[in-house]
Amino acid sequence: MRIELKKFGDILTSREAGREALLAFSPTLKSLDENEEIVIDFQGVSVLTPSWADEFIRPILFLKKYTEKVTVINDSNVSVQAALRFANPKLNLKKIRVFEDKIAFDEVDDEKIYSGNRVLQVLMFPENDEDALRILIKNKVKEISVHPVDALKNTRLKTVINMLNQAGIKIANMRDLI
Q: Is the pTM of this model over 0.75?
A: no
Strand segments (E) across 103-169: 103-107, 114-115, 118-119, 143-148
CATH assignment at residue 158: 3.30.420
pLDDT at residue number 153: 85
Domain identity same for 161 and 123:
yes
Domain identity same for 173 and 111:
yes
Domain identity same for 108 and 64:
no
pLDDT tens digit string along 142-159?
A: 999 998 877 788 899 999
- 14: phi then psi, degrees, rounded to nearest 5: 80, 140
Residue 3's H or E segment, with its range, is strand 2-4
Q: For residue 156, give its domain range.
A: 90-178
